[in-house]
């Protein structure tokens, strides 16, 4: 029989082995990639194309495997693993990264982008370069920018949201960034940070009244099964990134760095195309299921209530003022 001391020794050995596995350096050809979505989701398709092109362009010096479906843990886990050297690339949502890289919070400001095309022009230009450089301080850098759609509100209370007062008192799940809590509270609701994996059950049991996300996520997560009203607020247009470990990237030759960057940019072109197609498919599927949908014709009342959110964000992080101006200067 294994006594308590033996069990403790075994547990310690397992923990040490796990840490060693995560931290162990790998060759360039063994890059590991993290993806929270499925392989056939637009982000998964883009990431597979990225590593395929990176391998082809570098004659196999940079290659590897994408681990889909969050099998390597949550995004928080993946960020830590990347910083420790356990993974080399990932498709990250930029919203939660605002806690570690304050400059990224500019992307989380409600209505900061006019539309998807405006976001592309901004992120593919000087602002994107500035933000990627800011991310390097955390050991992570962005090589290209993916679409993750426009986020809108949905709820399980049968509420058709047309004006801010319609959110009053409702509990909406938000991602783990205080800025999102401020956004929902400015509109009269209650923002509840919660892991994505917990949203379905929380909607079903009434722990929360609603959440906010884009059409493909609303459909693929099956949240439409437990939240029958979708109101097109499009309050957040958050890009995602093909992000890489700074240490892994800096270890490459200049030539291979250029090739990997090109692979990331090419994968973004594919991902954006796949995303646009997926939006239409997901929207049609959700509406066919019986979900009630409405467009918010006039968003001015929502936008007006965001002034304190902008002011608070700039007060907390003054560098956002210049970034906001740079984004608004892009046609």
Closest CA to 175 of 74, 95, 80, 75: 95
What are the C-alpha distances in Å from 68 to residues 73, 108, 177, 271?
A: 10, 25, 24, 15
Give, as one character, the DSSP assignment of residue 170: -
Q: For residue 249, what pLDDT is reported? A: 97
Q: For residue 13, what pLDDT is reported? A: 40
- Which residues face 171 on adjacent strands? 190
Q: For residue 229, what pLDDT is reported? A: 98
Q: For residue 116, what pLDDT is reported? A: 87
- Our CA angle for 260, 266, 269, nearest 5°, is 150
Domain with CATH 3.40.190.170 in the chain: 4-147+238-274, 150-237+282-328
The rounded distance, in Å, linking the Cα atoms of 83 and 247 is: 9
Q: For residue 24, what pLDDT is reported? A: 43
Q: For residue 111, what pLDDT is reported? A: 87
DSSP 3-state of 96: helix
Domain 4-147+238-274 part of CATH 3.30.70.20: no
Q: For residue 178, what pLDDT is reported? A: 85
Q: Which CATH number fits domain 150-237+282-328: 3.40.50.800, 3.40.50.300, 3.40.190.170, 3.60.20.10?
A: 3.40.190.170
Residue-level pLDDT, tens digit, the chain, 331 residues: 444 444 444 433 433 343 344 444 445 468 999 999 999 989 999 999 999 999 999 999 999 999 999 999 999 999 999 999 999 999 998 877 888 899 999 998 998 988 889 999 999 999 999 999 999 999 999 999 999 899 999 999 999 999 999 999 999 999 887 888 999 999 999 999 999 999 999 999 999 999 999 998 899 899 999 999 999 999 999 899 999 999 999 999 999 999 999 999 999 999 999 999 999 999 999 999 999 999 998 888 998 899 999 999 999 999 999 999 999 899 8
Give, as one character, the DSSP assignment of residue 209: S
Q: For residue 175, what pLDDT is reported? A: 86
pTM, to two decimals: 0.77
Tokens of 266: 């090419």
Tokens of 52: 């395929």
305: number of Cβ within 10 Å: 16
């Amino acid at each position: 029989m294994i006594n308590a001391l033996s069990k403790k020794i075994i547990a310690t050995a397992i923990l040490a082995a796990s840490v060693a596995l995560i931290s162990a350096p790998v060759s360039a050809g063994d890059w590991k990639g993290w993806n929270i979505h499925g392989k056939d989701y637009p982000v998964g398709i883009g990431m597979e194309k990225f590593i395929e092109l990176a391998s082809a362009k570098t004659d196999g010096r940079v290659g590897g495997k994408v681990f889909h479906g969050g099998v390597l843990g949550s995004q928080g886990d993946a960020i830590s693993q990347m910083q420790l050297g356990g993974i080399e690339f990932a498709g990250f949502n930029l919203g939660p990264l605002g806690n570690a890289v304050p400059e990224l919070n500019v992307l989380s400001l409600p209505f900061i982008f006019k539309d998807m095309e405006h976001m592309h022009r901004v992120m593919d230009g000087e602002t994107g370069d500035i933000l990627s450089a800011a991310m390097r301080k955390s050991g992570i850098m962005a090589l290209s920018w993916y679409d993750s759609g426009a986020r809108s509100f949905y709820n399980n209370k049968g509420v058709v949201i047309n004006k801010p007062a319609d959110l009053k008192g409702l509990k909406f799940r938000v991602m783990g960034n205080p800025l999102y809590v401020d956004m929902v509270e400015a509109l009269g609701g209650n923002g509840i940070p919660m892991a994505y994996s917990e949203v379905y059950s929380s909607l079903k049991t009434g722990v929360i009244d609603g959440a906010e996300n884009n059409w493909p996520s609303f459909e693929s997560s099956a949240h439409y099964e437990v939240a029958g009203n979708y109101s097109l607020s499009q309050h957040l247009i958050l890009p995602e990134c093909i992000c890489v470990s700074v240490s892994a990237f800096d270890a490459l030759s200049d030539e291979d760095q250029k090739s990997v960057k090109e692979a990331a940019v090419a994968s973004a072109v594919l991902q954006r195309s796949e995303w646009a197609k997926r939006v239409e498919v997901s929207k049609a599927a959700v509406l066919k299921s019986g979900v009630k949908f409405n467009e918010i014709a006039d968003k001015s009342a929502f936008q007006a209530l965001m002034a304190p959110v902008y002011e608070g964000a700039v007060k907390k992080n003054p560098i956002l003022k210049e970034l906001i101006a740079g984004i608004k200067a892009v046609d």
